[in-house]
Amino acid sequence: MIVSGVLFLLGGLASCSSPASNSGDSSDGAGTSVALPLTSSSSSASATWVTLAMGHLDDPLDTFWQLVTLPAGGQRWALATPPGVASNGGLVLSVGAGASVLAGFEPSQDLLVSPLAESSDQGATWQQGVLPGGLARGPDALASSGGAAIALLRQAGGTVVQSGGGLAGWRVLVTESALARATSASGCGMEGLTAVGVTAGGTVGAPMVGSACAHGDGPGIFERSGTGWQSVGPVLPGVAGPTEVVRLLGTGRGATALVAAHSGGVADLIALWSDDGAQRWTVSSRLALAGGTVIATGSTADGGLVVTYRTTGRLAAAVIHQASLGWQNLAPPPAGTAAVVATPEGGFDALVSNLAVLEVYALGGGEWTHTQSLSVPIQYGSSG
Amino acid sequence: MGHGLQTDNPLIVSAFRTALDHQFLIILALAAGLAVAWNVVRTIQYRRAVASGSLDTTISQRWPYPEPAARRILRITFGIIWVFDGLLQAQTSMPVGLPGSVLTPAASSSPGWVQHLVNWGATTWSDHPITAAAATVWIQVGIGIFLLVAPRGYWSRAAGALSAGWGAIVWVFGEAFGNLFGHGSSWLFGFPGAVLFYVLAGVLVALRDSSWETPRLGKRLLRGMGLFFVAMGVLQAWPGRGFWSGQPNPSSTPGALTSMTNQMAQVPQPSVLASWVRSFGSFDAAHGWAVNLAVVVGLVAVGVCFLSGRPGLLRAGVILGAVICLADWVLVQDLGFLGGVGTDPNSMIPMIAIFSAGYVAVVRLPVAVVRLPVAVSAPPPTTALQPAVVGTVGALDRLSPSYLVRALGAVAAIGVVLVGAAPMALAATSRNADAIVTEATNGTPNVVDLPAAPFTLTDQSGRQVSLESLAGHTVVLTFLDPVCTSDCPLIAQELRVTDQMLGDQASTVDLVAVVANPLYNSTAVTNAFDRQEGLDQVANWSYLTGSPVQLEKVWNDYGVQVAVAPGGAMIDHSDIVYIIDRHGQTREILNADPGDGSATGKSSFSTLLAGQVQRFAQS
């Protein structure tokens, strides 16, 4: 009886403690991951394409990723989301040469593979396909060039597959472990694959892979060479810590990359350009995030990069062009901006996702002016 | 997707009532049989007595003293409580409501291993809701009757042991160990679980008679209760748990007790009771600190009284404890069983019975009965105790009427328990949920007898497959979107499990799906789906596709709606399954909506489908 009384007291006192808190998504901390944002844009002389989340963003089943486009010379954005698949998990975009667009759906709920859709007429019609697995979660998990495509799948820490033509005949190109072994001399200390790209050159460009590196003096950028791989990432001045490739884009002349360099728990962004098939790189100055979070990235029509980020409680946007090599801050975007994107004409629009309405603001004279409200027919409840 | 099962689902309610009615008839039949047996035995005894010249051959009283009063308190109180709890389990909301309204919430603040354990029980219940709910009714009623009709001897001790055993099961699965490992516990709300006192009472009733002959048992019991009350007082006094504050103003967060009484006042109950609870809640809101102080002082005072061991203080402790317990039972626990899915009157009444019995065990010991000398002549038969008559009597003749009643009553009570327990034990051995769960959400299958519309499409290997080519087999036909994120993978899994349930019979069955997406309809996509769902290993599985025109014709022929929706939505299509017999006749149409996608729902659909397929496969 005495023992039982003591046990009750101990049990009751044990219940005094608060329940273990759920840390939920555990990030690696501010210093080791930029958490690749899916929201991305691609701008060229013919059009700008943007993927972003809309709907009830606090409910995964009522969040629907959309694809919107602004054609060159056009004044209004249009909805171009490929039909036939639920886009709750995310949408990955790759704009190839000749205005072809390849979109991939991230897995969600019980769909474990990633359907694909490709269009060559500004999204009017789509050809469908499917990957043999689920896309990795990153804005450059897909890359296409000259009718072939490569994709970064999430299995086994990162598996790169290449199509045999069109959207079919997928075969494994390399896995993370194989790539790490093949390029061990680079001193990267690979910690996962983050992006894929295709350099310019020929009908089928050379596949490239970007990774997160635990150490080393440069980013983990690797290019297919024959049947092997070689590290082609440049030495970054002053970088000796973790890095990760945030964006990796094949351009008409070579490649463009955006790299996060971590030091002392803080990440800076560095832009890289190569005009000779990823052999030699031009390195930009650093964009200090000051502990902030990148929420969107994109390319400009002239091969530059635009970044939207949140720092010290405010939104900010910055752009860099290869010619200047320096980051230029744009006017602070409107509240709720999901992405600042470049237009085909070289201007900038801010896109605000307001449930099922996309609000568009154009930058002019240092100010953002509302120019369009685009209603998106979101089918709430259709995924649950 | 559809919605989950509602507690007032007509099919479930009707099936539950029917099950209880049928089982009650069985119990009546059992009772009738036992009554006949009682009559037969008594008749034999009477005839033998007449033949031997003595009308009374009963043996003398077996025990030297009547049942100890303390033991009788426990036996009768908990016998009545178990019967009451059993009747509460007959509420029509129990089959569907118990897992979600009682079991899972009870474990919500407990560690993962407790939740895992409780979830196993909740899943077993959900898989067999009718059987489980009916079983709980009869098990608890049976245990209660057992305690009431068997006052002494091995029968009675067995009743105590059974009460303790079932109580332990309920304490683990129904009360999540009384929230012993969770947080926010309070004696006021029923910590450490009402059923734990049932277990304690059962153990005490199961003890030998000799345990009650001295005050030692009673003293130990009261010491234990004393420690318990002191511990509860300390727990109640512990800072930072929300009990020292009421609700000083409407905008402030209410304290734990205020919050509980506010909730209890909202449940459906007599208006008088609701007003008492509400008034107490208002009082606590205004004087939370004082109320908690009074509770702490009261609990500790009761504990100290019980620990003292002195009869005067023990009596005071019993009185004070009963007052505090009754006040809590009415004003905080709201009688324990009102509103929602009430399963028992909570902890206060059992607690009162325990410490009252402990007190009686100290102050009122059993008194031996003086044996009277045996009379030679046979006195007139009466129902009172008779002196022993020594003579040549058989075993049957030794059975006194009172013992016979007790024995047959105990057998009847055990029979009541088994009427509930046996079906549940059998059901629990099955890994498959009952079909009624699906029928309750999706409706019963639509029985038809129509020629199935022909089709010729391409399977995942590129071969042409026609419905005609499947003649001689039973065909299970459905329509699946290969890039669907929710329903279709679930339906695919249900079909796979159905195939496993069919066993050898699966060789005479073809599982056929037709693509329900006009855009993603290539064999590459169907193959990707098959690999994703493990259907590429199922020999009798075919995933058919064709051109959008071909597919649309099949959809129209089978009444399947397929619509392309904008804005990143998946294809909207009907969830439906056709059973086509060996002769090409459509025999049944089932609603295949997976509902909330629960494991129980999926298993239930597979059970239903397998059962229906077996019917037509054999016809």
Q: What is the DSSP string of A344-373?
A: TTS-EEEEEEETTEEEEEEEETTEEEEEEE
Answer yes or no: do B51 and B184 share one domain: yes
Contacts of residue A62, Cβ cutoff 8 Å, sequence gap at least 6:
A55, A56, A378, A380, A381, A383, A384
What would the mean pLDDT of B157-182 be, rounded to a whole number? 91
Tell me whether strands B541-544 and B509-515 are parallel, antiparallel or unpaired.
parallel
- In chain B, residues with a C-beta closer than 8 Å to the C-beta of A375 are none
- Tell me how far apart the alpha carbons of residues A379 and B566 are, in angstroms, rounded to a whole number: 7
Selected residue with higher pLDDT from B83 and B5:
B83
Q: Closest CB to B565: pick one of A18, A113, A382.
A: A382
pLDDT at residue number B306: 95
**Closest approach of B60 to chain A, Cα-based (Å):** 38
> Both B227 and B311 in a single domain?
yes
Q: Could B221 and A1 be called an inter-chain contact, meaning their C-beta atoms sit closer than 8 Å?
A: yes
Can you tell me the mean pLDDT for B509-524? 97
Residues B445 and B339 in one domain: no
**Would you say residue B422 lies in a domain?**
no
CB A250 within 8 A of CB A208: yes
Q: Do B569 and A113 touch (CB under 8 A)?
A: no
Tokens of B189: 């709300």
In this prediction, residue B528 has a pLDDT band, given cuts at 50, 70 and 90, of very high
b/e burial code for range B361-394 (CB count within 10 A of at least 16 → b):
bbeebbeeeeeeeeeeeeeeeeeeebbbbeeebe
Same domain for B337 and B445, yes or no, is no
Statement to judge: residues B334 and B455 lie in one domain? no
pLDDT in tens, A47-99: 999 999 999 999 999 999 999 999 999 889 999 999 999 999 999 999 986 67
> Are residues B444 and B540 both part of a single domain?
yes
Mean pLDDT (chain A) is 86
Q: Which residue has the higher pLDDT, B65 or A119?
A: A119
The reply to whether B405 falls in a domain is no
Looking at B306, B339, B363, which one is the last position of a domain?
B363
Torsion of CA B597, B598, B600, B605, to 10 degrees: 0
**pLDDT digit string, tens, across residues A165-202:** 788 889 999 999 999 998 888 888 889 999 999 886 54
Average pLDDT, whole number, for chain B? Answer: 88
Output the pLDDT for position B507.
93
Q: What is the pLDDT of residue B393?
A: 52
- CATH annotation of A82-288: 2.120.10
pLDDT for the residue B1: 40
Work out whether the CA dihedral B254, B259, B263, B265 comes out positive or negative: negative
What's the rounded Cα separation, in Å, for the pair A85 and B520? Answer: 9
Query: Domain ranges in chain A?
Result: 45-77+298-384, 82-288
- Over 70: is that where the pLDDT of B151 sits? yes
- Residues from chain A that touch B234, judged by Cβ atoms under 8 A, are 9, 12-13
Chain A residue numbers touching B483 (CB-CB < 8 A): 84-85, 105, 111, 113, 115, 130
Confirm if A383 and A86 have CB atoms less than 8 A apart. Answer: yes
In a domain, residue B216? The reply is yes
pLDDT in tens, B298-310: 999 999 999 998 8
Q: Please check the confidence at residue A9 and state whether its pLDDT lies above 70.
A: no
State yes or no: pLDDT of A229 exceeds 60. Answer: yes
Q: What is the CATH number of the domain that holds B495?
A: 3.40.30.10
Between CA B397 and CA B390 the distance in angstroms is 12
Q: Answer with the one of B328, B363, B398 that is the final residue of a domain.
A: B363
- Give Cβ neighbours of residue B302 (< 8 Å, ≥ 6 apart): B226, B229, B317, B320, B321, B324
Chain A residue at shortest CA distance from B110: A19
Given an 8 Å threshold on Cβ–Cβ distance, is A111 in contact with B483?
yes
Residue predicted with more confidence, B317 or B36:
B317
Query: Can you give the pLDDT at residue A23?
Result: 30
| Chain B residues lying within 8 Å of A356, measured CB to CB | 567
Instruction: Assess if residue B454 is contained within a domain.
Output: yes
**pLDDT tier, A206 (very low <50, low <70, confident <90, very high otherwise):** confident
**Residue B387 scores a pLDDT above 50:** no
| A241-250, B218-227, B547-556: least confident range | A241-250
Could you say which of A5, A376, A382 has the minimum Cβ distance to residue B227? A5
What confidence score (pLDDT) does residue B371 get? 53
> Whole-model pTM above 0.95?
no
If asked whether residues B17 and B152 sit together in one domain, one would say yes
Query: Chain B, 532-571: which have a CB under 8 Å from a chain A CB?
Result: 532, 564-571
% of chain A surpassing 90 pLDDT: 61
Two tokens at A236?
């970054």
Distance CA B249, CA B315 (A): 41
pLDDT (average), residues B234-248: 88
For the ranges A324-328, B9-13, B51-55, the maximum mean pLDDT occurs at B9-13
Element at B273 (helix H, strand E): helix B271-286
* Pairwise CA distance, residues B331 & B458, whole Å: 70
The Cβ-side half-sphere exposure at B328, using a 13 Å CA radius, reads 28
Residue B580 lies in a domain: yes
In chain A, % of residues over pLDDT 70:
88
Nearest beta carbon to residue B566 from set A83, A88, A115? A83
Kindly state whether residue B394 falls inside one of the protein's structural domains: no
Same domain, B351 and B442: no
DSSP result, B288-354: HHHHHHHHHHHHHHHHHHHHH--HHHHHHHHHHHHHHHHHHHHHTSTTTTSSSS--S--SHHHHHHH
Domain residue limits at B257: 10-363
* pLDDT at residue A316, as a whole number: 95
Whether B451 is covered by a domain: the verdict is: yes
CA-based angle A244:A248:A249, to the nearest 5?
170
pLDDT tier, A28 (very low <50, low <70, confident <90, very high otherwise): very low
Taking an 8 Å cut-off on Cβ atoms, the answer to whether A79 and B221 are in contact is no
pLDDT digits (tens, 9 = 90+) for B431-486: 899 999 999 989 889 989 999 999 999 999 999 999 999 999 999 999 999 999 99
Say what the pLDDT of residue B405 is. 78
Longest Cα–Cα distance in chain A: 86
Q: How many H helices and E strands in chain A?
A: 2, 28
Backbone dihedral angles phi then psi of residue B120, each to the nearest 5 degrees:
-60, -45
Per-residue confidence band for A15, with pLDDT thresholds at 50, 70 and 90: very low
Cβ distance of A14 and B234 shorter than 8 Å: no
Please give the average per-residue pLDDT across B35-58, as a whole number.
Answer: 75
A34 pLDDT band (50/70/90 cuts)?
Answer: low
Tell me what pLDDT residue B53 has.
73
Query: CB contact, 8 Å: B361 with chain A?
Result: no
**Torsion of Cα atoms, B328 then B332 then B338 then B342, to 10°:** -80
Last residue of a domain, one of B337, B363, B389: B363
Question: How many domains are there within chain B?
Answer: 2
- Whether B60 has a pLDDT exceeding 60, the answer reads no
Both B444 and B328 in one domain: the answer is: no
Point out the residue among B220, B235, B568 whose CB comes nearest to the CB of A64.
B568
Arithmetic mean of pLDDT, B68-74:
92
Predicted local distance difference test score (pLDDT) of residue B76: 93
Question: Average pLDDT of A237-246?
Answer: 86
Share of chain B above pLDDT 70, in %: 92
Please determine, for residue A2, whether its predicted confidence score (pLDDT) is greater than 70.
no
A1/B570 CB distance under 8 A = no
Residue B173's nearest CA partner among B79, B106, B262 is: B106
Is pLDDT at A353 greater than 90 in this prediction?
yes
Which chain A positions have a beta carbon within 8 Å of B520's beta carbon?
84-85, 115, 128, 130
Q: Measured between CB atoms, which of A4, A129, A379 is closest to B224?
A: A4
- List of chain B residues whose C-beta atoms are within 8 Å of the C-beta of residue A64: 567-569
Could you tell me the pLDDT band of residue B392, with boundaries at 50, 70 and 90?
very low
- What pLDDT is stored for residue B15 in this prediction? 93
Least confident of A214-218, B292-296, B324-328, B345-349: A214-218
Chain A residues closer than 8 Å to B180 by CB: 11-12, 15
Tell whether B162 and B308 lie within a shared domain: yes
Dihedral sign (CA B81, B83, B87, B90): positive
Contacts of A248 (CB under 8 A, 6+ apart): A140, A143, A194, A195, A196, A197, A208, A209, A210, A221, A255, A256, A257
pLDDT band at B368 (very low <50, low <70, confident <90, very high): low
